[in-house]
């Protein structure tokens, strides 16, 4: 995989809607862009905890422990389903309306279990001849994507009419992702 293909793959993956991006957009809408941008280090840390070990040990782990992929996929499906239900019913109102530490913790756990991290750690980064440079580029694109979703959500900041609709859209999207993750985990 060339460096250009790697960067384009990262852009396609990290800018696509997913659990973390849905929570960043909703937080931007509820708390504003600036408060949401301050959450990006938690997103980066969660991705680092998943991507770095997988990029180094992923092939060996997958070959020896086939159940790991299914277990992690099932855990991710359960977490994303719980977030979808919480969003739909308005309890905690996702990432943006909870107190700072709870908001960061939910975003951190969601990102830690984000399937995108597994694709990046197991497929994209190991295919690069220079893994340190690949990791740097990953964090650059990650920061850009997180900022974009935060700012996109902040366009609705203060809109009393738009927030419930956005919350339900995010909940429905997370519900669909939970079903897809769960079915993939059972198939693994």
**Where along the chain do its domains lie?**
3-187
Assigned token pair, 180: 């897809």
Tens-level pLDDT at each residue, the chain (188 residues): 678 888 998 998 899 888 899 899 989 988 899 999 999 999 999 999 999 998 888 667 666 666 776 777 788 788 888 888 887 887 544 444 455 567 899 899 999 988 889 888 887 887 777 888 999 999 999 999 999 999 999 988 777 677 777 778 888 888 888 888 788 777 76
By residue count, the chain amounts to 188
Assigned token pair, 147: 């900022």
**Measuring CA to CA, which residue among 54, 39, 12, 69 is closest to residue 186?**
69
Helix (H) or strand (E) holding 131: helix 131-154
Judged by DSSP in three states, 95 sits in: helix
What gap in Å lies between CA 173 and CA 185, rounded to an integer? 18
């Amino acid at each position: 995989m060339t460096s250009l293909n790697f960067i384009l793959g990262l852009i396609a993956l990290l800018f696509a809607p997913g659990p973390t991006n849905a929570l960043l957009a909703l937080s931007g809408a509820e708390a504003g862009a600036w408060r949401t941008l301050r959450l990006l280090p938690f997103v980066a840390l969660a991705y680092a905890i998943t991507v770095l070990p997988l990029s180094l040990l992923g092939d060996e782990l997958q070959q020896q422990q086939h159940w790991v992929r299914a277990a992690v996929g099932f855990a991710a499906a359960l977490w994303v389903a719980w977030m979808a239900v919480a969003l739909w019913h308005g309890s905690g109102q996702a990432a943006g309306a909870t107190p700072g530490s709870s908001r960061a913790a939910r975003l951190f756990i969601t990102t830690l279990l984000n399937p995108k991290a597994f694709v990046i750690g197991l497929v994209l980064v190991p295919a690069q001849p220079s893994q340190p440079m690949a990791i740097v580029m990953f964090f650059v694109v990650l920061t850009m994507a997180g900022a974009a979703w935060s700012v996109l959500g902040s366009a609705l900041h203060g809109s009393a009419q738009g927030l419930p609709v956005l919350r339900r859209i995010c909940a429905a999207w997370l519900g669909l992702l939970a079903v897809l993750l769960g079915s993939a985990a059972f198939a693994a």
